[in-house]
Structure 1
Amino acid sequence: MKSKIFPACFTTKPTAEAIGLGLSLTRHIIAGKHGGTLKVESKRRVDTEFIIILPKL
């Protein structure tokens, strides 16, 4: 499931409630605009952690 969360249009909500751009857009801003990385680490049914790494200016 982790491999499917970053592409555009992925959502866990009903189609009428969301368009699924949140994480795709977030990754584009972090990686594309700022040269950083966005990683996700998840323990099923326990927790999920998003790691944002930005280069030093």
Structure 2
Amino acid sequence: FHNSNIQNGVPIAIILQYGHGTGTGGWVEGRDYINPAIQPIFDQIANDAWKEVKRL
């Protein structure tokens, strides 16, 4: 993943995706938001590739 939001050397998108420890010893569970957002792009790539294979 590419993320330009870096705070204190930490890529924010990654810690939101996978979770992170807190300064007080707690844990914030990650939330899968990247994969659902890009799934339609992967689906389109697969569909386009399959159309090309069938065309040949």
Does TM, normalized by the shorter one, top 0.5? no
Tell me the TM-score normalised to structure 2 length: 0.30
Greater fraction of residues in helix: 2
Give the number of the structure with larger relative contact order, counting CA–CA contacts within 8 Å between residues 6 or more apart. Answer: 1
Which structure: larger Rg? 2
TM-score normalized with structure 1 length? 0.30
